[in-house]
Amino acid sequence: MSISLFFTQLLHNQVLIGGIAGWFSAQFTKTILYAIINHKLDISRFWGDGGMPSAHSSTVSCVAVSAGLVYGMDSFPFAICVILAMITMRDAMGVRLETGKQAQMLNTMLQIFSKDNPELSQQRLKEFVGHTPSQVMTGCACGCIVAFIVNLFY
């Protein structure tokens, strides 16, 4: 297989392009919303986890809807994508959200105890990890919309 054929096939993969577009749209939106709310542009939010909307939810819902549009709602690929999307979104609201809450608590404790040990003040856990239900649902809606938009181009 030639390199050009490889990239041509990748660019014609509607499900893959949809997933990438779903992720990109959520991360872009998250970065802009963060800038509006905090009155400063933080480009690291584009690559960061957590926040509104959930890029995980946007990506997996876009992949699922794209698979349904390409292969049919009664297809095996669509079924797999829907199940994996449900697991991913549930995990974002459950374990990952609790991990973020624990990180906030531990960072507060580190700040309190760092007065006696300056080395502790250098260590911080990532607090933006999980998502609230509204962030997940907004990400899911974003992914569904992007899937239909991408479908218009195929």
**Residues 10-55: tens digit of each pLDDT:** 999 999 999 999 999 999 999 999 999 999 998 888 887 777 899 9
Query: Quick one: pLDDT at residue 111?
Result: 76
92: burial class by Cβ within 10 Å (0-12, 13-18, 19+)?
Answer: buried
Cβ atoms of residues 34 and 42 within 8 Å: yes
Q: Give the mean model confidence (pLDDT) for residues 50-69.
A: 94
- What is the distance, to the nearest Å, from the Cα of residue 64 to the centroid of all Cα atoms in its chain? 14
CB-CB neighbours of 13 under 10 Å = 14
Considering the chain, what is the average pLDDT of its residues? 88
pTM, full prediction: 0.78
Positive or negative torsion for Cα 17, 36, 95, 110: positive
